[in-house]
Structure 1
Amino acid sequence: MRPYVICHMMASLDGRIDCAMTEQIDDTNHYYEALAQLGCPSTLEGKTTLAMHYAQEGTFQPARAHEDAGLQLYKAVEAKGYAVGIDTNGTLRWDDNTTELFGRPLLMILSEHTSQEYLDYLKQKHISFITSGRNGIDFASAFETLRTVFGVERLAVVGGGHINGSLLDLGLIDEISMMYGYGIDGREGMAAAFDGRTLSSKPIRLTFKSVEEQDGIVWMRYLVEVKK
């Protein structure tokens, strides 16, 4: 059993999601108001987004030889909602009070290849974590742990494009919540709402759920069709 997962994104009309750009086409906080309506106390963000907006500069520098941590979990605190982050190999550096930074406790998902030293570092920072998967992160298993151990029943994936694409390919997203602001990006190399899928990937079929307009911003919701 895993959480119900909603991918909630703000994009320009051409589907780009650069945060500095989207802030200019959603200056009334409709994105966050819609996120609150989705009823997801916990959110998930990829490493790129975390490094850009939340983590300290630089990368974690180990002081001893690498020792794979293997399969582990650590629950620093009981909470109604978590800021879930992805950091496959354990390299992000954090402030002492991440709960204040995110507004709720931080919970990291990492691979089993993460060093034991880095997990000890997270414990010192009182940051919860799950390690799952030897060759990259086993998201299906990690999501089950989110539900069974941390009580996460609804999870909003809020960035970025590559983590969105990966979870979509794995069949771990139940619903798409897309908000399109009144602007076009068009800059070369900017990430799309769903990115990084292979050229041989087939389109993911969706079922329309709802649409509404809010001060020029269009909010559309779709259910992801189950693969047969």
Structure 2
Amino acid sequence: MKRPTIILNMFASVDGRITTGPNRNVAEWTELGIDAGANDVTHRLYDELDCEALISGSESLMVYGQHSIQLEHEIYWPKKSKAYIVFDGRGRVDWGQSEGLMVVTRENVSKSYIQQLENKQIPYIQAGMDEHIDVKRALEMLYEQGFQRIGLTGGGTINGVFLRQGLIDEISIVYAPVALGGKQTPTIFDSDDILDPKTITQLELIQVKPLLTQLVWVHYLVKHKI
């Protein structure tokens, strides 16, 4: 299987939470100044990590759309990124912004959703006939279109899918100086529980680096099982 290298790149609390709570936009940390610049720094790292595109799940966009945050200063947008690729298997998003967008959905998504994409001239690929996108096939198709290194931006659900399927090659986390806790607060990886410790994803440290005055960047290589 030929696919792009996938680099998970996120910012999180020290306990791995990626929002304040369910259905909350993490940009509120930035708005309040308590992320210590983690949001902006993380977006800049996509360029340092040579990401040619970014992948996000539709659940993140749905939350952001319902919990809008207006920031005083715009967050840096990666200059090397040629596409913002959103996995929307259920065809839930009514797209208002199409510039630079690419959509990944199922082959059996509704015809009306495909019609929307075509009417708005949004490029798309279809992979999988079951309830969920065939993520491995989707990545093969993205590779065939020339994408070799892609940043995975979350949320926790899509991150968890990629983790469980062994599709993440590097993990880059910027830790903000906050701790949240919470039993339902989204985490970096929201997925099914592991029952066998032999299936735990093991990592190899590439580097640890302090950034600005309050942040710590940790960068790992994923040790894939042969």
Q: TM-score, normalised by structure 2?
A: 0.82
Distance in 2, Cα, partners of 1:197 & 1:206: 19
Distance in 1, Cα, partners of 2:92 & 2:50: 31
Q: Which of the numbers 32, 36, 50 marks the counterpart of 1:26? A: 36
One-letter amino acid of the structure 1 residue matched with residue 214 of structure 2: G
Distance in 1, Cα, partners of 2:42 & 2:186: 18
Q: Secondary structure of 1:84's partner?
A: strand
How far apart are 1:112 and its partner, in Å? 1.6
How far apart are 1:98 and its partner, in Å? 2.0
1:167/1:21 Cα in 2 relative to 1: closer, same or farther (>3 Å)?
Answer: same
Equivalent position of 1:63 in the other structure: none
RMSD: 2.0
Q: Which of the numbers 136, 142, 147 marks the counterpart of 2:143? A: 147
Runs of 5+ unmatched residues, structure 1? 58-78, 100-104
Q: Percent identity?
A: 30
Q: TM-score, normalised by structure 1?
A: 0.81
Q: Where does 1:98-137 land on structure 2 (aligned, <5 Å)?
A: 98-99=98-99, 105-135=100-130, 136-137=132-133
Distance in 2, Cα, partners of 1:21 & 1:224: 31
Runs of 5+ unmatched residues, structure 2? 20-25, 69-79
Q: Secondary structure of 1:10's partner?
A: strand
C-alpha deviations, 1:41-78, integer Å up to 9, x for none?
A: 300111111212359x9xxxxxxxxxxxxxxxxxxxxx
Q: Where does 1:18-167 land on structure 2 (aligned, <5 Å)?
A: 18=19, 19-20=26-27, 22-23=29-30, 24-27=34-37, 29-53=40-64, 81-95=82-96, 97-99=97-99, 105-135=100-130, 136-149=132-145, 151-167=146-162
